[in-house]
A and B are shown apart, each in its own frame.
Chain A
Amino acid sequence: MNEINNLALLSTLIAATLSAGTPLLLAGLGLLVNERAGVVNLGAEGMMLLAAVAGFALALATGSDVLALAGGALAGALAALLFGVFAIYLNTNQYATGLALSLLGGGLSAFVGIDYVSRNLPRLPLTGIPWLSDLPWFGPALFRQHWAVYLALLLALLIGVFLQRSRAGLALRAVGESPESAHALGLPVRRVRLAAVCFGGACCGLAGAYLSVIYTPMWVEGMVAGRGWIALALTPFATWRASRVVIGAYLFGGVTLLQFHLQSIGVEISSALLSMLPYLATILVLALISRNPVWIQRNMPASLGRPFTPGQ
């Protein structure tokens, strides 16, 4: 009897970790691509918030999660386009511009979202993957999830292959390592960077819409709650490798859940203190990972954060 209970608990834990890790994975992968092209976008949190409210509005209006997530991705990409034009073409400071996007995204999403506060979306029934989700043991936990969970994993695989095995991926990395050499080779450095930034925005947008439409599902001001910043910490954690972003995202997803599980097994700690865990874990991991400069710099794009103007 006890074994069945343990199995059920472990099943729930796996299912919840997959779900909680998905927004971090989506956003982390997007940021990985745009950092590999040499651009740091500190606007992740703002893009996710804008996409969260856009996705929520679309879901409420159409009832379709496909449209909602696509709309979220579009909103994220448009926000990233604004950042990209500033940081890449006008050569504004990348940190300042990203911060501006985070502040604007926070303000604008709160303003637009005021009518959506305390509106409810129906929770979608999860159909899961036929046959596989009927497997015993962890079948339902692993295979009866929203399709975006699998989309995120597929994206990780595709981005990994793209960056390490494709010619276009090589070009993108060249732009991030040495824009001067890439330019001399005839690569359109600024266009590659803009495309990478918009892709990053679209992924952050997917992540934001996933949060408001599938994960919660509701809209509250500031509901992304720092996940954009945690996703930014994922790229150094993963030393800019797609496979390690997957590990990091589920690890942090698991930590966000820890508070619920600790409470459910009767740990007497206030929920506010337990809610600190993901942020403290991020700080701890950043500190540990940054201690070793060789490790961190092995895959770090050499021109990360450096602007480039052709002909100068």
Chain B
Amino acid sequence: MADRIVDVLWVVAFALLTVFSVPWFLWGDGTVVAGLPAWLWWHIGWMVVATALFWQFTKRAWDRGMGVTNG
């Protein structure tokens, strides 16, 4: 049961990660921060977040997601 909830949370996390890879809320916004558009800074931060999330996934759910106990 607890595993089931965790699985759903992973799916939700990946869905959010995908959807907000594009900062839709900045659509049409041309604000420049330190020489680069604000949306580009979002992208840079988001890729770092993605790496952290993927790393945690490989630690915690990689094999369970496939139903195997491979080392």
**Do A and B assemble together?**
no
Which residues of B are interface residues toward A (Cβ below 8 A)? Answer: none
Which residues of A are interface residues toward B (Cβ below 8 A)? Answer: none
